[in-house]
Chains A and B, each alone.
Chain A
């Protein structure tokens, strides 16, 4: 009964380092999303995917890259981490674009 699983749950990086956040879903959903959540800002969409092999930019894509090589996985990459990217990152998936989204428990990322 896993749903959406995010790895890792916590991470501390130094400015300039790179890393990849992994999202895996076991519900055979077509759509997957990456959000960041900051105090007072709600959720802001970084990138999303409407199917295997596709990606699209959301509201705040700068400084991030994504890949959807397999239907069940959606990777979020930070090429050169900056303190402004300190945030909680959430992955979500949905069967279709107008269906409810299922969320993971988040990754808390600090950039020093």
Chain B
């Protein structure tokens, strides 16, 4: 079955430093992969997605992710963290055959001034 692993429930990053959130997936078929962001007291918003084609995907708010099949990874990065990036981030993979997504447990990002 398709699944997603996100390590480190809480991630602290200094303002202006690189943001790196790791996502590894398991899938027996070519995956569709997503990153979502959740701000306090809100629902999830789509940051970016990979379906087919270019393996480096650019999303909103300066985030990007690279699909690496050999490493079964889809890590999320942003070169320079802003205070407004403080939120929870979820990686998700499409579960082939039953039309739903499997979500990771999330990373809570804290930005230190």
- How many residues of chain B are within 8 Å of chain A by beta carbon? 22
Q: Are A42 and B43 in contact (CB under 8 A)?
A: no
Q: Are A31 and B99 in contact (CB under 8 A)?
A: yes
Q: Are A41 and B105 in contact (CB under 8 A)?
A: yes
Q: Are B43 and A4 in contact (CB under 8 A)?
A: yes
Given A42-B90, A43-B90, A90-B43, decide whether A101 and B105 contact each other with a Cβ distance below 8 A: no
Partner among B9, B32, B46 whose Cβ is within 8 Å of the Cβ of A98: B32
A:48-94 near B, CB below 8 Å? 48, 50, 56, 58, 90, 92
Q: Are A106 and B43 in contact (CB under 8 A)?
A: yes
Check if A45 is an interface residue, CB within 8 A of chain B.
yes
- Write the residues of chain B forming the contact surface with A, with a CB cutoff of 8 angstroms: 9, 32, 34, 36, 41-46, 49, 51, 90, 94, 98-101, 103-106
A42 to chain B: which residues have CB within 8 Å? 90, 103-106
B41 to chain A: which residues have CB within 8 Å? 105-106
Q: CA separation between A62 and B43, bound complex, in Å?
A: 23
B42 to chain A: which residues have CB within 8 Å? 105-106
Q: CA separation between A13 and B45, bound complex, in Å?
A: 29
Q: Ordered nearest first, which 9 A-B pairs have the shortest CB separation?
A: A97-B99, A103-B43, A42-B105, A103-B44, A43-B103, A100-B46, A42-B103, A105-B43, A42-B106
> How many Å from the CB of A10 to the closest CB on chain B?
11
Q: Are A40 and B94 in contact (CB under 8 A)?
A: no
